[in-house]
Amino acid sequence: MQIKVKKQLGKAILEIDIEERNDKEAIAKALVFTQPDYCSLCKGNNVIWIQNKANTEDGGSYVYIKRKCLNPKCLAESTLGEYKSGGYFWKPWEIYQPKGGSKRQIDKEMSNDIQDEIPPTDRNKEADDVKIEDIPF
């Protein structure tokens, strides 16, 4: 089965072709790109996709694809995970804690606090409202 997924990312369109012999595998691989760009922590949809690369000591490298919430009170990220058998999934949204050296998932109480601080007009802001200067690349 061949599936073509078109994903709107801001003003750009990402086109992905997925080809699999097994129909369910093809659909499973395509579904990761149909997930809404919606931060489950602050309930915002002002989300962009970013990438970064890291090198290993043996000369290899990793590529990380992430969704980043642009709400200044949240700034959570969701990283694209990869199954060993093939295919992708989105990891849970997390807020980076640089001083502690680890990430943590926000608890429901803190999520509600963030939600209360976001003006109602910003909660439903479309991804097209992202200013070009807010994009980190």
Q: Give me the tens of pLDDT residue by residue for the chain, a chain 137 residues long.
A: 999 999 888 888 989 999 999 999 899 889 988 888 899 999 999 999 999 998 988 988 889 999 999 999 899 999 999 888 888 899 999 987 766 555 544 444 444 555 555 444 444 444 456 565 666 55
- Chain-centroid distance of CA 116 in Å reads 23
Residue 30, C-beta contacts closer than 8 angstroms, at least 6 positions apart: 3, 5, 16, 18
Task: Give the residue among 14, 18, 15 at the shortest CA–CA distance from 29.
Answer: 18
pTM of the model: 0.64
Give residue for tokens 């989105």.
Answer: 90
DSSP secondary structure letter of residue 124: T
